[in-house]
Amino acid sequence: MLNIKNYIKHHEFYLALLIIALIAGLSATTTDFMTLGNIFDMTVSSAILCIMACGLFVVLIAGGIDISFPATAAISQYVMASYILANGGNFVIAFAIAAAVGIVLGILNATLVYRLKVPAIIITIAMLNVYFGLLIYFSNGEWLYGFPDWFMEGAEVLSFSGSDGYDYGLNLPIMVLLASVALTSLLMNKTRIGRQIYAMGGNSDAAGRVGINLFGLNLFVYGYMGALAGIAAVVQTQITQSVAPNSLMGFELTVLAAVVLGGASMTGGKGSLLGVILGVALLAILKNGLTLLGVPSYWHTVVTGLIILLSISITALNEKQQAKQEA
């Protein structure tokens, strides 16, 4: 028999209720929301957000934060696209190049954060500007396009034709999204490194005293963020079929909002991947619904901010209640 009280204690419970309420409300107010085409487009468009959110989730659990990942993704994207346009290749090469560049930049961030002992948010904001500035300088702000046929077509399995005449299936963005979620879930829930990441985020001093290599773990989590940023950049390139040096500017706030909305603590050590996925889903549904209802884009930000504020408030109240019960 299910114990409802156990579920009510979790932040994910309220997120799920909010998502259900949104779906019910949008289904009643617009006939386009629950169509196969809209759900498919919404999933594809939120794939980049979710992939990056998986990486940022790991960093936040470790007690850090990374604001520079849009620039990391942009540099990875530009290097990958330049190589593909000049030499050809395949998706394995594209993902390998982008992930490798992202890992290098992520490791640089981790080294600066750990060695300088400066708050990670300051270091990564600085590196965000450094990375973007260098990219604009070396690229001259030029767009890249004209990708090979294999890159334009992408990869798709289990495709089928819908009643609207369009083809649906597991295309490249959805497959990479599923792989990123599965890998992150395995890392954080089933591995020793995942347990160490939670321990470091909960109390880094205690984690160091029990023999956890804090520097090595920092290199790993920021490198993981960089790798997923690079991977998400390939997905974005495949969707848009172009590379603009500044196309990912401002994306850091949306990703951070999704992860925090999902219940990940800004102080580290608390949060779940399920919550992050629900946070991404909530933002995607909210944005899509407001667009379908014809709400001006500037109201999207206002409503998103109010939803996040409500979510954080509920989480804070639950933590206070749990602290009182434990006392």
Each of the 327 residues of the chain gets a pLDDT tens digit; together they read 445 566 666 778 888 988 999 999 999 999 889 888 899 889 999 999 999 999 999 999 999 999 999 999 999 999 999 999 999 999 999 999 999 999 999 999 999 999 999 999 999 999 999 999 999 999 998 999 999 988 987 766 666 665 665 667 788 999 999 999 999 999 999 999 999 999 999 999 999 999 999 999 999 999 999 999 999 999 999 999 999 998 888 888 889 889 988 888 888 888 999 999 999 999 999 999 999 989 888 887 887 778 777 766 766 676 677 667 665
- CA gap 179, 170 in Å, rounded: 12
CA distances, 319 to each of 9, 62, 170, 272, 315 (Å): 9, 20, 39, 15, 6
Q: Spell out the residues 6+ positions from residue 299 whose beta carbon is closer than 8 angstroms to its own.
A: 290
Do 280 and 47 form a contact (C-beta atoms < 8 A)? no
Q: How many CB atoms lie within 10 A of CB 8?
A: 11
> What does the chain come to in residues?
327
Q: What is the pTM of this model?
A: 0.91
- All structural domains of the chain, each given as residue ranges with its CATH number in brackets, are 11-318 (1.10.3470)
- CA gap 311, 327 in Å, rounded: 25
